[in-house]
Chain A
């Protein structure tokens, strides 16, 4: 009986798909689950912002300028009498959008280029690798600032700048992973039966490097959110009066003496969002990375 039960268990475990196994392992990590919950909350807040906010985030009110937090204005008001709670809620849209869009750009460009470098010939690899090295040699934010400066200040351009700046990270990661798996037997076998290179790359190699990409993408979203906030803080991202956490902090700095609450909430929001993506990334790494198993 006991043997039969053990057999069923083994069969059940071995039939578990890699995705389901990773999910189960992720759920065992309390901090990662907490990160995931906070991220889901942020996403819900961003999507349903108009339903949650008590005020229009851009509506000015000259009778309630720089009011401290109260029952009427939970987070207080800013220098134009706008409700800070509503602005922080709407600010989540710019930050999350920037995080996801810029990393999608980086993935969309970085993964195919990385596959090409890892799977293409020696020359293709050499050139791509040197360009990647060069891009990584320019400090992340400085390259993003320089690109955003030339493209012109807007949220859309900030996302493009951050996405392009983050691309080499994914090129290098994909290339490294491809190099590691392309000598594996199953890839050799796929090649031996005459599969074209593109099919091997997409059907056989990509699924195997997915875990590493998911982990890196999660952590990179955290970096991208900070980068967007930084660019907006400098005036190169979201333009006023549209709310964004970075630009709110820029304004807040000027009113630090008489309205310090203006600086607390947007900063706290950036911190929470970035922290959640970081701990989710750490948890995903433990759950997905084959080397950790």
Chain B
């Protein structure tokens, strides 16, 4: 286990290195003088000079990179041009909001996705199975910002049951917090649920046709026990890893969902920064998101080994 962990951590180094190179390299896409582009509306020569100095734009590109990555490693992601605050502080402020949304979305998608996937596999080639597959296809093909807009129309405008937008923190007012986040969490969880549903269905089908399930049935165990205890437990192991690979979709989805529901999280931060040409924030958020995603995948890999006794040794 320790050896596995060590190997897996070593593998992260080159990936993280190239991630940092790519995100730093985004700066090179800026058309014209980068200092001018970064300054936005500002045309004051003193400000431009300060930007050139801060980003070391007069130095060769690898020197610029080394300074940037050095800063990142010591926890300095730069400063927001617009808000005049360190990028890391901004991210730390927004992170809990997106985390709450993502966790709620995961709970929703796990309950719908895994549940429906198991039912669909058990009822293979029946109308229920077809219906579940259709719903999954619908979930994958619906843009979540459209779903969000339609749900706002239904639940906020037409029925008036839930607020159309905004966010209240869980610590401030748990009930209102739930009311403001339930729709966005459902929207965010929707496509993730569809993907989980497909993974669970195929893993369950494989498990249901295996020898140990046949043995369990031959022993005369009730079908419920066979499905829930024998097949499902084994089928869910690959779903963990496959599910973790889709967490990136969830993080991407958060950008649009937060925009539609005006939720002040990570996604809204990156979009607002894009329009204010606050490039340091765009880079910072992208870097933190990528790192989070990489670490989540590592956790999923560890969980995979822990659940699977054959791999533990």
Contacts and interface: CB of A to CB of B under 8 A. Distances in A.
Interface stretch (A63-71, A111-119, A138-146): A138-146
Contact of B31 (A138, A152, A263, A264): A152
Nearest to A146: B286
Contact of B289 (A139, A234, A236, A257): A139
A228 to B, nearest CB: 10
B26 interface: yes
Interface stretch (A72-80, A96-104, A174-182, A271-279): A271-279
Nearest to A140: B252
A271 B149 CA distance: 14
Interface in B253-296: 253, 255-256, 259-260, 270-271, 274-275, 279, 282-283, 285-286, 289-290, 293-294
Contacts of B140: 278
Contacts, number: 143
B146 A249 contact: yes
B110 to A, nearest CB: 19
B82 to A, nearest CB: 14
A279 B157 contact: no
A264 B150 CA distance: 8
Minimum-distance CB pairs A-B, first 9: A134-B18, A267-B146, A141-B252, A139-B248, A275-B141, A150-B29, A149-B274, A138-B290, A139-B252
B296 to A, nearest CB: 11
Contacts of A150: 26-27, 29-30, 279, 282
Interface string A125-146: 0000011011101111111011
Interface string B208-239: 00000000000000000000000000000000
B59 interface: no
A226 B143 contact: yes
B282 A149 contact: yes
A3 B198 CA distance: 45
Contacts of A234: 255-256, 259, 271, 274
A230 B270 contact: no
Find the residue from B140, B141, B252, B279 having the highest chain A CB count within 10 A.
B141
Interface string B139-152: 01111011001101
A274 B22 CA distance: 29
A44 B271 CA distance: 35
Interface in B64-104: none
Given A137-B293, A222-B141, A270 B18 contact: no
Q: Classify the secondary structure of B's interface with A.
A: helix
B252 A271 contact: no
Nearest to A258: B157
Contacts of A134: 14-19, 21-22
A137 B143 contact: no
Contacts of B308: none
Nearest to B266: A142
A226 B139 CA distance: 13
A233 interface: yes
A252 B149 contact: yes
Contacts of A256: 149, 152-153, 157, 164
Contacts of B50: none
B87 to A, nearest CB: 14
Contacts of B30: 150
A198 interface: no
Contacts of A131: 18, 22
A147 interface: yes
Contacts of A147: 26, 29
B111 interface: no
Nearest to A260: B153
A151 interface: yes
Contacts of A140: 248-249, 252
B119 interface: no
15 contacts: A134-B15, A134-B21, A135-B18, A137-B248, A137-B294, A138-B19, A138-B22, A142-B270, A146-B270, A146-B274, A152-B31, A229-B143, A234-B255, A264-B150, A267-B150
